[in-house]
Amino acid sequence: MKIVKFGGSSLATGEQIEKVFNIVTSDPERKIVVVSAPGKRHAQDAKVTDLLIDCAKGYLQFGEAKSSFEAVIERYDLIARELSLSDEIIRNIHDDLLTLLNSDKSRPEKYLDAVKASGEDNNAKLISTYFKQRGIEAHYVNPKEAGLIVSDEPGCAQVLPESYKSLYKLRERSGVLIFPGFFGYNKKGEVVTFSRSGSDITGSILANGTKADLYENFTDVDAVYSVNPAIIANPKELRELTYREMRELSYAGFSVFHDEALMPAFRAGIPVNIKNTNDPSKTGTKIVNEREHTDTPVIGIASDNGFCSIYVSKYLLNREIGFGRRLLHILEDFNLSFEHMPSGIDDISIILRQDQIDRKQEEHIMMRIKDELQADDVKVEYDLAIIMVVGEGMRRNVGTAARASNALAREGVNIEMINQGSSEVSMMFGVKEVDEYRAVQALYEEFFASVPV
Amino acid sequence: MKIVKFGGSSLATGEQIEKVFNIVTSDPERKIVVVSAPGKRHAQDAKVTDLLIDCAKGYLQFGEAKSSFEAVIERYDLIARELSLSDEIIRNIHDDLLTLLNSDKSRPEKYLDAVKASGEDNNAKLISTYFKQRGIEAHYVNPKEAGLIVSDEPGCAQVLPESYKSLYKLRERSGVLIFPGFFGYNKKGEVVTFSRSGSDITGSILANGTKADLYENFTDVDAVYSVNPAIIANPKELRELTYREMRELSYAGFSVFHDEALMPAFRAGIPVNIKNTNDPSKTGTKIVNEREHTDTPVIGIASDNGFCSIYVSKYLLNREIGFGRRLLHILEDFNLSFEHMPSGIDDISIILRQDQIDRKQEEHIMMRIKDELQADDVKVEYDLAIIMVVGEGMRRNVGTAARASNALAREGVNIEMINQGSSEVSMMFGVKEVDEYRAVQALYEEFFASVPV
């Protein structure tokens, strides 16, 4: 049994939904279909979810949001007409949404969550109607009825463990089940949404709960690439990568997945197949627990910029028990999360995302470090990029560090930082932001030039 | 004006003290002479300081320590006879030490400190007597009278800032001043000793206090080596290295200096010259604030073993603000000081000296990390070595990391960890202990093979 999830662009038009119908019905294992709200039809288009947020905000502030409301209804209407559905479905969506928009606004976060979630919910109803019209036994499943219970954190709900047992029972239902992504219900029976890209999370939870054999995640790309195609033209596509590799890659710029989304599937050991709705014959990329083909040490290279480093030096620092902990405590007081912490004998550097700090805060942080830790020197360097070189094959491969640092040296890229040693499947290089692309190109050349695409 | 310090082996016999006399009198800038207690004359010999500790312990436990007491007196007596000094000096030392050993024992730590310090104190008296006999104006200076005031921490005293002003006045005194190393006086006027190698500390404090032009530190080696001679035969001698380089090297196995000892001289920016009492014509090694010759990126390679790593992994760890800090807090509860903390996306490793942990504690630490941080996995790996590759020339030298990791790869040494990025003058590699020597040899070959000795 497979869980099949379709993203917004796979459901943006009637034509796309027809593709979805063909994909689902071509394999009887495709039992549960998780759907997003209609996404963009072209780059300048609006997503239904964003229109719904506009609606909710308009109603909260002015008691109405005519144009956004009409835009939402029009999107569903267009799809319904393309698919030759009866007017009834649109009348229902119209009335439901209006009732929802006029409902209790005393808790704006709750209100916003309910309005946002309607995008997926109404789309699931529309799609199940279409499936039925095409003569397939299909049922819309409401997450509350299915028992998808989540924590009461609007916009970042967490699934509660008891859900999994209820969800297992979905296996016993007949027909194809159309399940709206992105939200669940709290214990009081109110809608609460996941973080954005939450339909991936719903699919992952269902895969875990139903103990599916496979979680198919349909998007609009053929595969996950070994490197950002904006930096390297036509990079190697990946057939298979492990969860660990995906996590390490997604950390630095690989945006295929909201990485948290896969946790429930990962915990249950269920493989994920990323496929293209527009070309379902392509194998896509499989995310697995372990992979066999580790003939090349490196599977992917990812990079991200916007990092800064806070450098702290103090003579005899490494003799002071508690120095590192107290330094991290100061950062915590400013609610800063750090990425890495390379250390010398008399110095520690903290690498963190620089958008967390404004210049005024910077001064304050520096002052506290200087005063409370009696540091000799504190300085901040901005505009660093982090490059992750990732691969299970690096685990025991002598010489990968040498190859990587050689490649950077050949290109004249100065390595500001190397962090290797905790993760066995990655190696991190810090470089100046201006060197980021050149560094990625040099590393790709080194590890992929001889590999057949 | 120069501060000249002589270690125990430079003062172990009359013949050695004659060398000291010749060195001091050959340069009128050599104004203040800091002396240790008589050290070993050969490998199996006892140091006077160790004999004094035996004395003190004997008196504390049994009210006497005849053989140790006699051994101490015999050492001074031998030196006095070699130098043809009158019996008076030995009678004085004998009577003083006996009075001291029979003094108040109600605070054993204080008692021990006073007995230990007498080794340097009596040697300073003996040496100034010898200098005078040779027709030189020389004066024994007592640290209390000179104003060397320290904190009341027996065995690990810290100099108090007000001392420096008093010590500056030593410049005005006439003649050569013979100053006993290793101890100062607390505010109550009691003797308190520095940590071992404390004569280096006294010299460093005097250099700072008197604003000396140079701190000459005489030992029994010609120079500091670029690498441990036990690993590489006849390694390159260093003419000059910076304080930073010395700190980084001394961290991992370079034992020329108790590194803390140089702090006062370093703070005042006073260069240190390490020279050989037995061959004072040799230039020795100079430790400076900045050095000019940085044509080679690497100046030295040091290594040390006996490290372990505690590996902690948890899915989505890097999203948790405070994880690192809480992890360090647990270590702190066990009074563990850590050396490095490389981190991946979902994991952190803590590198620390393994002699701090016993196996029973290990279990307890693991359990607390698992429970309190809800870690997915915690494991400890023992028997790692750390290799420091050090040099100011690495500051902006593209390719040093590549050369180093290439050299290790060529030798088939697997790099367990790389830590580079905080200190600009060093790069750290973690390898298995069994690979330590091979790794150092490979790195020495890479960075020094072409350099003229």
Using CA atoms, how far apart are residues B347 and A443, in angstroms rounded to an integer?
Answer: 24
- In this complex, is the C-beta atom of B168 within 8 Å of any C-beta atom belonging to chain A? no
**Digit-coded pLDDT (tens) for B22-52:** 999 999 999 999 999 999 999 899 999 999 9
Banded model confidence at residue B424, pLDDT cuts 50, 70, 90: confident
pLDDT tens digits for B50-75?
999 999 999 999 999 999 999 999 99
Distance from CA of A242 to the nearest CA of B (A): 14
Q: Is A286 a residue whose pLDDT tops 90?
A: yes
Return the pLDDT at B294.
Answer: 64
Give the pLDDT score at A84: 96
Q: B373-391, pLDDT tens digit by residue? A: 999 899 999 999 999 999 9
- Interface contact flag, A325 B325, Cβ < 8 Å: yes
Q: Is the pLDDT of residue B310 over 60?
A: yes
Q: Write B89-94 long-range contacts (CB < 8 A, 24+).
A: B89/B125, B89/B126, B89/B129, B92/B125, B93/B122, B93/B125, B93/B126
Interface test with A, best of B323, B328, B396 (most A CBs within 10 A): B328
Q: What pLDDT score does A9 carry?
A: 93
For residue A409, give the nearest of B324, B398, B420 by CB distance: B398
Share of chain B above pLDDT 90, in %: 70
Tokens of B296: 């080679």
Question: Which of A339, A341, A411 best probes binding to B when mutated, by most B CB atoms within 10 angstroms?
Answer: A341
| In chain B, % of residues over pLDDT 70 | 96
Domains within chain A, CATH numbers bracketed: 2-220 (3.40.1160.10), 300-448 (3.30.2130.10)
Answer for the pair A209, A170: CB distance below 8 angstroms, yes or no.
yes
Q: pTM above the 0.95 mark?
A: no
Write the pLDDT tens digit of every residue in A68-88. Answer: 999 999 999 999 999 999 999
Mean pLDDT of the residues in chain A: 91
Q: pLDDT band at B8, cuts 50/70/90? A: very high
Question: Nearest CB to B328: which of A263, A309, A328?
Answer: A328
CA gap A215, A163 in Å, rounded = 18
Residue A55 has pLDDT above 90, yes or no: yes
Overall size of chain A counted in residues: 453
Q: How far is A124 from chain B (nearest CA, A)?
A: 31
Nearest CA of chain A to the CA of B311: how many Å? 7
A392 contact B CB<8A: no
For A398, the closest of B320, B409, B427 (CB atoms) is B409
Q: Which range has highest mean pLDDT (A309-313, A395-399, B112-116)?
A: B112-116
Taking residues A296-315, report their average pLDDT: 90
pLDDT of residue B453: 45
pLDDT of the residue at A453: 45
List, for residues A154-208, the tens digit of each pLDDT value.
Answer: 999 999 999 999 999 999 999 999 999 999 999 999 999 998 778 999 999 999 9
Band of the pLDDT at B230, cuts 50, 70, 90?
confident
- A171 by Cβ neighbours in 10 Å (0-12 / 13-18 / 19+) ranks as middle
pLDDT band at B258 (very low <50, low <70, confident <90, very high): low
Predicted confidence band of residue B147 (pLDDT cuts 50, 70, 90): very high
Q: How far is residue B183's CA from residue A406's CA, in Å, rounded to a whole number?
A: 52
Coil vs helix vs strand at A62: helix
DSSP code, position A45: P
Nearest CB to B422 within list A338, A348, A412: A348
Q: What is the ipTM of this complex?
A: 0.71
pLDDT computed for residue B395 by the predictor: 72
Q: What is the mean pLDDT of chain B?
A: 91
Residues A179, A124: Cα–Cα separation, whole Å: 6
Q: Are the beta carbons of B341 and A329 separated by less than 8 Å?
A: no
Task: Inspect the interface and report whether the beta carbons of A321 and B335 lie closer than 8 Å.
Answer: yes
Q: What is the CA radius of gyration of chain B?
A: 25
Give the residue on B whose Cα is nearest the Cα of A414. Answer: B398
Chain centroid, CA B252 distance in Å: 12
B408-419 per-position pLDDT tens digit:
999 999 988 888
CB contact (8 A) between residue B321 and residue A337? yes
pLDDT of residue B119: 97
Query: B430 to chain A: nearest residue by CA?
Result: A421
